Structure 1
Amino acid sequence: MWANGSSPGPCFRPMNITLEERRLIASPWFAASFCTVGLASNLLALSVLAGARQSGGVSARSSFLTFLCGLVLTDFLGLLITGAIVVAQHAALFDWQAVDPSCRLCHFMGVVMVFFGLCPLLLGVTMASERYVGITRPFSRPRVTSLHRAWATVALVWVVALGLGLLPLLGLGHYTVQYPGSWCFLTLGTEPGDVAFGLLFALLGSLSVGLSFFLNTVSVATLCRVYHDREAAQQRPRDCEVEMMVQLVGIMVVASVCWMPLLVFIAQTLLQTPPVMSPSGQLVRATEHQLLIFLRVATWNQILDPWVYILFRRAVLRRLQPRVSTRPRALSLRPSLAQDVLREP
């Protein structure tokens, strides 16, 4: 495919790969199984989240569940859209240049890849910020957080990620078909626009992971300090606050393990001297292999995210460790009004 070294369109670049090589790399059964497991996992998480929301609870947990619902819904749609394109390409092994000469499908998939890649990272730092304020500054946040306000925050994250994904269509960088010719993503080229967009994507994702780590570390440290402070027993966190932090830390760990290798690889490749991409637009085969491997690792984030919530719930943890259910119910970080009244002379 494009073995002659020519670049027939704006989203096509030279890629020396035969049909037999594509058959060995692009397995429709693996891609279909991967997508099926991911979609089923996210559907299960959505059903569990729906049940948790109906049970009610404190406003902080309701906001957290709304953010979680936005995260799981994003992962589900990302797997559904990208999986449909990749599975179809692997099954038919069509020539992208013949099927999409105008590059509309490639541009669409590039936007989708960037959008659904950034959204989990941005939602992770949003949830970390909400929990940081709720734990370290409990009196500076409203007692009741509107459901519409929580969904508006999720929508804002979607808008930011979509805006970044549309930048190549506005002239900053461009999307190209990637090895082995079954998906489109940002270009690891030497043009200023490609370098700027790639570094922006990598730095924004890395910053989100780093900020999540900092905020979650402070929040966990605060919870541990308050939880073990006997003199402030009336300010101990409730089980739901500990549960939310356990889930949030799990989401952060999954995002870090899945996405940081790809983000670091993109930054290193774009800043490498001499450039990895040749003047004709062809990448070294080893670089193409690494990009494909790191991308596949990153897509595991969409499968593992829902299982963090499914497995790290109090109902599941109590079955694994019955002593958890016998522990006296801890109180909130906010002193209750009834306790304040009883302490009045």
Structure 2
Amino acid sequence: MWAGTDALLATEPGNASGPAATAATATAASHQGRPLGSCFRGANGTESHGGEIASPWFSTAFGLLGLGSNLVAFCALVGSSRRMHSRSRSSFLVFLCGLVATDFMGLLVTFSVVVPYHFLRFDWGRVDPGCHLCGFLGFAMVFFGHCPLLLSATMAAERFLGIYRPFAHSVRMSKRRAWSLVSAVWAVGFALAALPLLGLGEYTLQYPGSWCFLTLLHDPRNVAFSLLFALLGMFCVGISFLLNTVSMVALCRLYHGAESAQRRRDSEVEMMVQLVGIMVVASVCWLPLLILIAQTVLQDPPNGLAPGQISRETEKNLLIWLRVATWNQILDPWVYILFRRAVLRRIYPSFKPRASIISLYPVINPSLRRKLTQQSVLP
């Protein structure tokens, strides 16, 4: 998702790169004959803000922690995928690899803007008068922010089918098809993030004048894009919760039913625990921000605001909940690292392999039965 945004969304006392500096830069740039781009229209440039301070070293540590966590998780996932013969588990690992890769690239891309900004304290108006860097940063934050939510919903649907239609899922869900679904999710995220670049909404500098994101103004285009962003995110969280709940209930019934000794469920339980962990992390980190965005654009703007401005309270709340959302890309890899079978068996010693799922369906064609049984054997 977003690298070190806690540090990015900060200014120091006396620093000349806050909203006040943005207004001053706009005046200076207009005197020099360099009109600033549209990303500066939403900046409330009347005063400096020294309270929202974060050390550049914190930004560096935050980004390195996120990059390191995702790299460790990705290496573990690649190793597990190579040793895995179960098609169901292999496809789930592909989705996890896609999630971790998305978080890693989101950290890396935004980190390349955060670190130079924090150590150089460059002036946005002078460095990026045409808003190209601001547009890139806004695009990256929307794309790498929404893709984990889309992937979480896709993984919930994949597990739902894996539990309720195990044979059809085992036959149809290959690694190649799983990677195709991951690519489709990336394509949807790319299309969403590109909408402001095509004229629907805008990416503008946000409080305290050091980062770019969608604009919470009440003109039709920004309202439409903000609602699309918020409602799509809430839909992903909601569908993940619904499908994961149904899958967990079904898995608990099978696990404690009369046929529990006939079906191996250690891998299924592991996948569901990891998926529920990912869902909980995404919900806690993202829902406050998504709800704030939807509420802001649906409510009437406060009286007395100049055109192109939002209330200071809304700016501060947006900053706070965005900081909460930045923890998603650090916590995601730890869900996989901590909730593997090796760790779960230490917590729950009776968590041991059981017989194959195929034994529940004795009437299946013998050749297909042998094939699926071989694919469901753990290494």
Q: Tell me the alpha carbon deviations over residues 299-337 of structure 1, each in whole angstroms, 9 at most, x when there is no partner.
A: 10000000000000011122344x235x4x323444378
Shift of 1:171: 0.8
Task: Indicate the residue corresponding to 2:107 in structure 1.
Answer: 79
Task: Indicate the residue corresponding to 2:245 in structure 1.
Answer: 217
2:44 is aligned, of 15, 28, 44, to: 15
Paired positions, count: 336
Cα separation, 2, equivalents of 1:122 and 1:318: 30
Amino acid at match of 2:50: E
2:345 is aligned, of 305, 318, 330, to: 318
Q: Tell me the alpha carbon deviations over residues 158-181 of structure 1, each in whole angstroms, 9 at most, x when there is no partner.
A: 000000100011110110011122
Shift of 1:31: 1.4
Quick one: structure 1 residues 264 and 20, their matched pair in 2 at CA, closer, same or farther if it must change by over 3 Å?
closer
Which of 206-215 and 11-20 deviates more?
Answer: 11-20
SS at match of 1:210: helix
Which of 285-294 and 158-167 deviates more?
Answer: 285-294
Q: Tell me the alpha carbon deviations over residues 90-121 of structure 1, each in whole angstroms, 9 at most, x when there is no partner.
A: 22222111100111111111111110011000
Task: Indicate the residue corresponding to 2:377 in structure 1.
Answer: none
Which of 147-156 and 302-311 deviates more?
Answer: 147-156
Q: Tell me the alpha carbon deviations over residues 42-79 of structure 1, each in whole angstroms, 9 at most, x when there is no partner.
A: 00101111111121231000000000000000000001
Quick one: structure 1 residues 17 and 92, their matched pair in 2 at CA, closer, same or farther if it must change by over 3 Å?
farther
Instruction: Please say if 1:242 is aligned against 2:266.
Output: no
Cα separation, 1, equivalents of 2:226 and 2:86: 41
Q: TM-score, normalised by structure 1?
A: 0.91
Task: Indicate the residue corresponding to 2:205 in structure 1.
Answer: 177
Cα separation, 2, equivalents of 1:25 and 1:186: 22
Task: Indicate the residue corresponding to 1:227 in structure 2.
Answer: 255
Instruction: Please say if 1:97 is aligned against 2:97.
Output: no
Task: Indicate the residue corresponding to 2:329 in structure 1.
Answer: 302
Which of 269-278 and 90-99 deviates more?
Answer: 269-278
Cα separation, 1, equivalents of 2:123 and 2:54: 13
1:135 is aligned, of 128, 147, 163, to: 163
Shift of 1:234: 5.6
Given that 2:22 and 2:209 are in contact with CA atoms closer than 8 Å, whether structure 1 keeps it comes out as: no
Shift of 1:139: 3.4
Cα separation, 2, equivalents of 1:128 and 1:214: 9
Task: Indicate the residue corresponding to 1:146 in structure 2.
Answer: 174
Cα separation, 2, equivalents of 1:276 and 1:139: 60
SS at match of 2:85: coil
Quick one: structure 1 residues 92 and 263, their matched pair in 2 at CA, closer, same or farther if it must change by over 3 Å?
same
Q: Tell me the alpha carbon deviations over residues 259-303 of structure 1, each in whole angstroms, 9 at most, x when there is no partner.
A: 000000000111112358934312222211111111111010000
Cα separation, 2, equivalents of 1:138 and 1:289: 48
Which of 25-34 and 299-308 deviates more?
Answer: 25-34
Quick one: structure 1 residues 290 and 47, their matched pair in 2 at CA, closer, same or farther if it must change by over 3 Å?
same
Cα separation, 2, equivalents of 1:239 and 1:50: 20
Cα separation, 2, equivalents of 1:158 and 1:195: 24
- What residue ranges of structure 1 are gaps of 5+ in the alignment? none
Instruction: Please say if 1:292 is aligned against 2:319.
Output: yes
SS at match of 1:257: helix
SS at match of 1:139: helix
Cα separation, 1, equivalents of 2:220 and 2:64: 39
Q: TM-score, normalised by structure 2?
A: 0.83
Given that 2:264 and 2:355 are in contact with CA atoms closer than 8 Å, whether structure 1 keeps it comes out as: yes
Cα separation, 2, equivalents of 1:118 and 1:81: 15
Amino acid at match of 1:86: V
1:330 is aligned, of 354, 361, 370, to: 354
Which of 178-187 and 157-166 deviates more?
Answer: 178-187
Cα separation, 2, equivalents of 1:270 and 1:72: 32
Amino acid at match of 2:204: T
Identical aligned residues as a percent: 58
SS at match of 1:11: helix
Amino acid at match of 2:185: V
SS at match of 1:16: coil
Task: Indicate the residue corresponding to 1:107 in structure 2.
Answer: 135
Cα separation, 2, equivalents of 1:297 and 1:191: 27
Amino acid at match of 2:45: N
Given that 1:172 and 1:193 are in contact with CA atoms closer than 8 Å, whether structure 2 keeps it comes out as: yes
Shift of 1:186: 0.3
Please tell me the root mean square deviation across aligned C-alpha atoms, in Å. Answer: 2.3
Task: Indicate the residue corresponding to 2:225 in structure 1.
Answer: 197
Quick one: structure 1 residues 236 and 286, their matched pair in 2 at CA, closer, same or farther if it must change by over 3 Å?
same
Task: Indicate the residue corresponding to 1:70 in structure 2.
Answer: 98
Cα separation, 1, equivalents of 2:321 and 2:358: 44
Shift of 1:190: 1.0
SS at match of 1:90: helix
SS at match of 1:140: helix
Cα separation, 1, equivalents of 2:218 and 2:135: 19
Instruction: Please say if 1:273 is aligned against 2:300.
Output: yes
Amino acid at match of 1:54: R
Shift of 1:80: 1.0
Given that 2:196 and 2:203 are in contact with CA atoms closer than 8 Å, whether structure 1 keeps it comes out as: yes
Given that 1:276 and 1:283 are in contact with CA atoms closer than 8 Å, whether structure 2 keeps it comes out as: no
